[in-house]
Amino acid sequence: MQYFFDMDKSRLAHLVSSIFTLCIVGGYIIYCVEADGDIFLPTISTTWDFRPGNFLSRWCIGTGCVAFYILLIMTWKGYKLNYLLYLTSVAAVFCLSVVGAVCSSNKSIECYGNRDIHLTAAISCFVFFDVYMAIILITGIGAERKKLVSVLTMRISFVASFLSKVRMISRFSTHHSFPVFAVFEYLNVAAIIAFCITFACSIPENLKFSLVRLSAKSEIKNSGFVWEMSGTNTLQIALRYATGTLLSCLVTALLFQTVDPDQFPMISDTFVYPPGNYISRWAGIIGCTYLQLANICLDHCYREHMGKRFGRLCSTIAFVSSFGLSIVVVVSENEDQYLHFPAAITFFGGYLILIGLVPLGLILKQASQTEEKLNEPLIQDENVNKSNLITETSADNPKLGIKLFLACFFLSLLTKLRYSSVMMSYCHFPTIQNDVRSVIAVIEWIDAMAILSFLFSMFLVFPRSLNRSKYIIRNAEIMPSVKTNSASILRL
């Protein structure tokens, strides 16, 4: 078993708080620079209604919520919390993710949000967190093993969060020109962050969030992990979000007629207007975060079957392309085309290169292995031959991968015809020939399906390698990290 990184409970908690602090502080700074409103003090939601602050909030909230989910799992397992209490915290983070995805302005073209959905999600988020904190304090979960400072911090945080609800009373929030509502809102958020960080850092066991690579002899069922998520599960989650986002955005665009009914919409067209933009900003960025986690697991597959250098190249392209996709889903084409279109080209172009490099790497690796086998003496031991046959039937299938990946590559390459000068001239004047633009849109969807097919093929080509790579939560006292020659450990 090889550990590739270790992140203890304190580092994970501070990472989560850093992401949300960056979102709030960064949004406020951008608002002060770009907006014409009051510098002291806008509400948090107001700073997320205008670009580029809303781009930052969508990306940070979506990414941060995935990290928050992992932190909640760590506290759930570390304290052995009641499952309903754990679900309460998950509901709070879910509402938070909706707040980041759906901004509060109904009319602004920089937002195209929904005030009712935003406020409902925000209020629900605060209520769920208050219930979560109150139950923990009332039941005294883990209080006997916490430091006095931690207990006091959690109590003060809860009291501050509860008292900050005074902003809901109109005669307090409209007191003269002082921004009472905004001040108490910032206080409420700070109290929740402080409580969650303190609670996670006070977990009795020395829990760590790690990425491990199991050896062929490792027992997966009896691994002793507190929690685990294999590379297969991670990629499955990412693909569910991806396919769900594409299909739901297309269906809603057609049902609510947010696109031209006389032509088939491009993918980006379904991300512009409600409710499709709510889905893309919520599910899209969460799916991209899981895709980046899956890329780390796929990196192990690439290196095992293509060599370290070739694998590192493929992984780098995958990371850059996936980051481009994360920009595409949070920045629509009508909000900022100078961000959206380069990000889209990075995604489609990057994955075209990746889909072409992976089969090439597999071919070169197999050629080198064949040459090595020809230089080795023949083995006549029947027992060895039988064991090899058993291993081969349960192993990865790079030969199948070469065929599938090449098919995806040529299909994706053919779809790039839409970037020809003739096609692009029609894209600039869609009203001249709507049928031509519809053809371009269909080709774009086929390109997306080719990329999805490439990712789905990983389950058939690298089933064993994907399942060996796991994100885990473990007790470091029971399962300490051990350095090996084949893997270096990065302790965070």
Q: What is the pLDDT of residue 33?
A: 86
Q: What is the pLDDT of residue 174?
A: 55
Global pTM exceeds 0.75: yes
CB of 166 closer than 8 Å to CB of 172: yes
Q: What is the pLDDT of residue 20?
A: 95
Phi-psi region of 381 (alpha: psi -120 to 50; beta: other; left: phi over 0): beta
CA atoms within 13 A on the CB side of 121: 21
Q: What is the pLDDT of residue 383?
A: 46
Tens place of pLDDT per residue across the chain (492 aa): 677 778 999 999 999 999 999 999 999 998 888 766 567 788 898 888 888 889 999 999 999 999 999 999 999 999 999 999 999 999 999 999 999 999 988 777 778 889 999 999 999 999 999 999 999 999 877 666 667 788 889 999 999 999 988 877 765 555 556 788 888 999 999 999 999 999 999 888 889 999 988 876 555 554 568 999 999 999 999 999 999 999 999 999 999 988 888 888 999 999 999 999 999 999 999 999 999 999 999 999 999 999 889 999 999 999 999 999 999 999 998 888 899 999 999 999 999 999 999 999 999 988 887 655 555 554 444 444 444 433 443 578 999 999 999 999 999 999 988 777 655 555 544 444 456 778 888 899 999 999 999 999 999 999 999 999 999 999 887 776 654 444 444 444
CB of 327 closer than 8 Å to CB of 340: yes
Q: What is the pLDDT of residue 374?
A: 55
